[in-house]
């Protein structure tokens, strides 16, 4: 489906996943660092689920833009599996990027605009705290706000 709405994606029938598109300069932040943040701020071991959100639209996925990104993502996934970082197997799909559809305005910068929402307090705040513990306050200023 081309340019689905959030409500359409929520049905789980469009084949789309809720995702973000990250534009970055690898001289400022390497792809490996982005992957490290990705792996440690969600559960890559639950199939079609993130917390209480269930359905194929909530699958863990990396959409790579070139062969180099694919190889780095696969290597990163293998390393985590080999290190036994997670109790269960990683189910994150690593698949070629095709299309990205921008969310409706009310979903953009959701955390910044809805910090009083229960979802932000119960789901996002702990992830941000975990990220800050792992990388220190530098990560928020250096990476998140850019």
Kindly state the tokens that stand for 30. Answer: 């390497």
The per-residue pLDDT for range 15-62, each reduced to its tens digit, is 999 999 999 999 988 999 999 989 988 889 999 998 788 999 999 999
Task: List the domain boundaries for the chain.
Answer: 6-104, 109-146
pTM for the complete prediction? 0.85
Q: Which residues pair with 95 in a beta bridge?
A: 63
Which overall architecture, per CATH, does domain 6-104 show? 2-Layer Sandwich (3.30)
């Amino acid at each position: 489906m081309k340019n689905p709405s959030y409500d359409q994606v929520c049905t789980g029938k469009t084949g789309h996943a809720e995702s973000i598109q990250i534009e970055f300069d690898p001289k400022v932040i390497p792809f490996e660092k982005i992957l490290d943040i990705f792996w440690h701020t969600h559960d890559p071991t639950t199939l079609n689920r993130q917390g209480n959100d269930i359905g194929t639209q909530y699958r863990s996925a990396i959409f790579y833009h070139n062969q180099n990104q694919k190889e780095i993502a696969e290597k990163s996934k293998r390393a985590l599996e080999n290190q036994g970082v997670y109790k269960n197997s990683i189910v994150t799909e690593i698949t070629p990027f095709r299309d990205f559809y921008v969310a409706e305005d009310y979903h953009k910068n959701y955390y910044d605009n809805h910090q009083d929402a229960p979802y932000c307090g119960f789901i996002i705040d702990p992830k941000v705290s975990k990220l800050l513990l792992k990388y220190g306050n530098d990560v928020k200023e250096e990476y998140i706000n850019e």
